Chains A and B, each alone.
Chain A
């Protein structure tokens, strides 16, 4: 096979940037679309029955402020042909909650079903965010140490760990970027399920990288005289079929069937996961391995002097 993936490495870096930057711009403008899991507050999800009347958005907001609740946001959607309202607000007390529900039942829809009611205090949400960052940091460190250990037989084992983590950061940024774009287009929110999806992407990101690195590990002693760039390119192509098939199985077949048939609660998470796992496979081929080569050639020395020749 004559496929030269590495030769176009800067184009792939550019493509990733093109996917990441729009999301980052949205975040810079609107902030992260955090759900009450991270900001604190209450979330009520009610489903209206076919017979009942669905209140207007303003009516719900009025109802909330009558009960002394501020910062109310309402979002409507449908499930099984019935209207669903997701109402976010500052924290509701038990009394406010039952008063509001009672009013909705008596004035609009006696068959109203409360599907979810979450209240998260500000202190717990703060500790969730902090610990999540800590967990990601510790996990990244552990993975670098493990890869350095597992690849100790070949030169610069440490680089493999670092490259795996850079590619993992890339995957995180892709997922965050898609989350931000999704929040703009479909009103997605970053909740604890989103966090779970992100953590999964992190877990599986390194799994993919290691499979590609393993080929380099295997080929390095055999092809001692071949330039590193060629070894890496060769290794990528050898593991390509496996990357595609595993990707097909886990994301395309299993995840998409869960997204299509698995009900509302998991759909958003599955779609985010789908992007994340795609990104994980993509970045192991087009980001992690190429960065190894960039590092080996110390290409940053020529980035500013002869930018055009390196891109060719």
Chain B
């Protein structure tokens, strides 16, 4: 190599930079540079927590934008609940992955997430429906995008359709059946709300209530509807489930109202507040179902992390010993270059940042194996050339040019595979596969770098230290 000293300087600079990132020094400067705290990001399997994968129900075509909106609404809701470090991400065409690190009590959060928060005021005519009943409405959830003119048309149609149903006196037992199949018309939705507050109970018998005010155009619509339907019932429906069915006593033209449960289903403060959060941050543009949820207890996570670190250290120690005994001087160089590999890889993890998970650690370990392989490939060639009686410098140059094609091709094949795995992992929200593929690909890329620059340069720089006559002893042939 011609620029031996230049490359040496470059390596030293890179190692110093990596050390600055890795070690807890210059925290403020790093904070300013990267706009965040540079500390290791641990995955849920290492620190405990919950992961949920949400998806739209079968048959709903949703676009990327809708998912993004839903994802940010969910994040706002979870933050309002006081859960920290929540991340919601869109994965693939129809999944949203939510991660809640360190969370133990999952029930509350799940109930808030699960609530699509699709609030509807539904025209049920004269049908008296029990609270808690699930009904069908003509509002399909992707309604955020439905223009109001269209909604007006359907209103007219369904009015006509519901007329005979209300006129015929159906016996009580048949009613349950008929309400199950009937599609009711939605007058206004949660998207029409302007402001929402929790109000304290007025008497000790009541629960808390959520009071709302409508936006001006909805106020008008609501006013007209209530005027035309005095004496009929108006069902307040949350996620297709009836909350209450007050009777319209007079036209409501102020656009104000409140939602409260009654009797056993009266709201506690928390319940009312959850409803407020749901309504305030908007209803989800699409109903979401929990497709998958995973909870890892914090103790399991912590013990996994500690044990993996210890296991890694033990493994590295044995590998170093073996390399030193088997390859002597070059083995020592390999250990140094693996160490540098570790420093650079960890620094990259911190900067990107890469979230470390258990499979991620496995990926890292295998990339260490790959870095070792690059060294072993060259050292075996080195021994071969030395056995043929070449001088040390000749042998180093030849061994490199012989080993490089196989190092390059085998590592590139691994990078290709990990790239495909990464794509696979990110399209269906399998963060397990994604984390593994990312750490493997990064590790293999860095191992190519350390093989190409570090091991070779170290061999070249130190080759002058060994007398040619001693080469058998120093290189283990």
Taking beta carbons and an 8 Å cutoff, which residues of A are in contact with B?
94, 98, 113-121, 123-124, 127-128, 131-132, 134-135, 138-139, 142-143, 146-147, 150, 192-193, 195-197, 199-200, 202-204, 206-208, 210-211, 214-215, 217-218, 238-239, 241-242, 245-246, 248-251, 253-258, 260-266, 269-270, 273
Complex Cα distance, B168 from A210, in Å, reads 79
Q: Which one, B207-215, B238-246, B276-284, B421-429, is touching chain A?
A: B421-429
Please give the distance in Å from A149's CB to the nearest CB on chain B: 10
Q: Would you call A117 and B294 a contact (CB within 8 A)?
A: yes
Cβ-defined partner of A206 (8 Å) among B292, B377, B402, B413: B413
Q: Would you call B45 and A203 a contact (CB within 8 A)?
A: no
Q: In the complex where A135-B424, A139-B420, A206-B410 touch, is A249 in contact with B58 (Cβ < 8 A)?
A: no
Complex Cα distance, B369 from A94, in Å, reads 43
Those 8 A-B pairs whose CB atoms lie nearest each other, nearest first: A250-B369, A214-B406, A135-B424, A263-B307, A257-B315, A261-B311, A262-B311, A117-B295
Please give the distance in Å from A161's CB to the nearest CB on chain B: 10
Please give the distance in Å from B286's CB to the nearest CB on chain A: 15
Complex Cα distance, B368 from A125, in Å, reads 32
Q: Would you call A135 and B421 a contact (CB within 8 A)?
A: yes
B416 at the interface (CB under 8 A from A): yes
Q: 7 A-B pairs, CB-CB below 8 angstroms?
A: A120-B291, A193-B432, A196-B432, A206-B410, A210-B410, A254-B369, A262-B304
Q: Which one, B79-87, B127-135, B157-165, B358-366, is touching chain A?
A: B358-366
Q: Would you call A119 and B290 a contact (CB within 8 A)?
A: yes
B45 closest partner in A (C-beta)? A265
Q: Beta-carbon contacts of B357-391 to A below 8 Å, as 1s and 0s?
A: 01101110110111011001100100010000000
Q: Would you call B417 and A124 a contact (CB within 8 A)?
A: no
Please give the distance in Å from B128's CB to the nearest CB on chain A: 27
B374 closest partner in A (C-beta)? A246
Complex Cα distance, B359 from A269, in Å, reads 9
Complex Cα distance, B413 from A202, in Å, reads 10
Complex Cα distance, B418 from A153, in Å, reads 26
Q: Name the residue among A114, A138, A257, A269 with the largest chain B CB count within 10 angstroms.
A: A257
Q: In the complex where A146-B416, A241-B380 touch, is A253 in contact with B322 (Cβ < 8 A)?
A: yes
A130 closest partner in B (C-beta)? B428
Q: In the complex where A139-B416, A200-B440, A207-B410 touch, is A134 in contact with B424 (Cβ < 8 A)?
A: yes
Q: In the complex where A131-B424, A199-B436 touch, is A124 in contact with B292 (Cβ < 8 A)?
A: yes
Complex Cα distance, B412 from A207, in Å, reads 9
Please give the distance in Å from A283's CB to the nearest CB on chain B: 15
B293 at the interface (CB under 8 A from A): yes
Q: In the complex where A121-B290, A211-B410 touch, is A116 in contact with B417 (Cβ < 8 A)?
A: no
Complex Cα distance, B310 from A271, in Å, reads 18
Q: Beta-carbon contacts of B211-246 to A below 8 Å, as 1s and 0s?
A: 000000000000000000000000000000000000
B464 at the interface (CB under 8 A from A): no
Q: Would you call A210 and B409 a contact (CB within 8 A)?
A: yes
B151 at the interface (CB under 8 A from A): no
Report how many residues on chain B are interfacial, defined by Cβ distance under 8 Å.
77
Q: Would you call B416 and A196 a contact (CB within 8 A)?
A: no
Q: Would you call A143 and B430 a contact (CB within 8 A)?
A: no
B336 at the interface (CB under 8 A from A): no
Please give the distance in Å from A40's CB to the nearest CB on chain B: 9
Instruction: Note all chain B residues with C-beta closer than 8 A to A121.
Output: 55, 289-292
B405 at the interface (CB under 8 A from A): yes
Instruction: Note all chain A residues with C-beta closer than 8 A to B55.
Output: 121, 123-124
Cβ-defined partner of A118 (8 Å) among B114, B295, B315, B323: B295
Q: Would you call A258 and B312 a contact (CB within 8 A)?
A: yes
B411 at the interface (CB under 8 A from A): yes
Instruction: Note all chain A residues with C-beta closer than 8 A to B180.
Output: none
Q: Would you call A246 and B312 a contact (CB within 8 A)?
A: no
Q: Would you call A266 and B362 a contact (CB within 8 A)?
A: yes
Q: Would you call B414 and A214 a contact (CB within 8 A)?
A: no
New A-B contacts (12) at CB < 8 Å, excluding given A128-B430, A135-B424: A114-B297, A123-B58, A123-B291, A147-B413, A203-B440, A207-B411, A217-B405, A238-B384, A251-B369, A258-B311, A262-B311, A273-B362
Q: Would you call B420 and A142 a contact (CB within 8 A)?
A: yes
B7 at the interface (CB under 8 A from A): no
Complex Cα distance, B433 from A219, in Å, reads 38
Complex Cα distance, B299 from A94, in Å, reads 22
B377 closest partner in A (C-beta)? A242
Instruction: Note all chain B residues with C-beta closer than 8 A to A204.
Output: 366, 369-370, 414
A114 closest partner in B (C-beta)? B297
Instruction: Note all chain B residues with C-beta closer than 8 A to A146.
Output: 409, 412-413, 416
Q: In the complex where A113-B299, A265-B300 touch, is A211 in contact with B312 (Cβ < 8 A)?
A: no
Cβ-defined partner of A262 (8 Å) among B111, B290, B307, B380: B307
Cβ-defined partner of A119 (8 Å) among B293, B304, B418, B428: B293
Complex Cα distance, B365 from A251, in Å, reads 10
B429 closest partner in A (C-beta)? A124
B416 closest partner in A (C-beta)? A142
Q: Would you call B417 and A257 a contact (CB within 8 A)?
A: no
B251 at the interface (CB under 8 A from A): no
Instruction: Note all chain A residues with C-beta closer than 8 A to B427.
Output: 131
Please give the distance in Å from B359's CB to the nearest CB on chain A: 5
Instruction: Note all chain A residues with C-beta closer than 8 A to B376.
Output: 242, 245-246, 249
Please give the distance in Å from A85's CB to the nearest CB on chain B: 14
Complex Cα distance, B107 from A154, in Å, reads 63
Please give the distance in Å from A200's CB to the nearest CB on chain B: 6
Complex Cα distance, B378 from A245, in Å, reads 12
Complex Cα distance, B373 from A11, in Å, reads 29
A242 closest partner in B (C-beta)? B380
Q: Would you call B433 and A195 a contact (CB within 8 A)?
A: yes
Instruction: Note all chain B residues with C-beta closer than 8 A to A150.
Output: 409, 412
Q: Would you call A196 and B362 a contact (CB within 8 A)?
A: yes
B16 at the interface (CB under 8 A from A): no
Complex Cα distance, B294 from A207, in Å, reads 34
Q: Would you call B369 and A249 a contact (CB within 8 A)?
A: yes
Q: Would you call A203 and B418 a contact (CB within 8 A)?
A: yes
Q: Would you call A249 and B319 a contact (CB within 8 A)?
A: yes
Please give the distance in Å from A300's CB to the nearest CB on chain B: 28
Complex Cα distance, B399 from A218, in Å, reads 13
Please give the distance in Å from A117's CB to the nearest CB on chain B: 4
B53 at the interface (CB under 8 A from A): yes
B303 at the interface (CB under 8 A from A): yes
Instruction: Note all chain B residues with C-beta closer than 8 A to A116.
Output: 294-297, 300
Q: Would you call A203 and B421 a contact (CB within 8 A)?
A: yes
Instruction: Note all chain A residues with C-beta closer than 8 A to B428.
Output: 124, 127-128, 131
Please give the distance in Å from A110's CB to the nearest CB on chain B: 16
Q: Would you call A258 and B315 a contact (CB within 8 A)?
A: yes
Please give the distance in Å from B445's CB to the nearest CB on chain A: 13
Instruction: Note all chain A residues with C-beta closer than 8 A to B430.
Output: 128, 192
Please give the distance in Å from B113's CB to the nearest CB on chain A: 10
Instruction: Note all chain A residues with C-beta closer than 8 A to B420.
Output: 135, 138-139, 142
Please give the distance in Å from B271's CB to the nearest CB on chain A: 15
Q: In the complex where A214-B406, A246-B369, A266-B362 touch, is A118 in contact with B304 (Cβ < 8 A)?
A: no
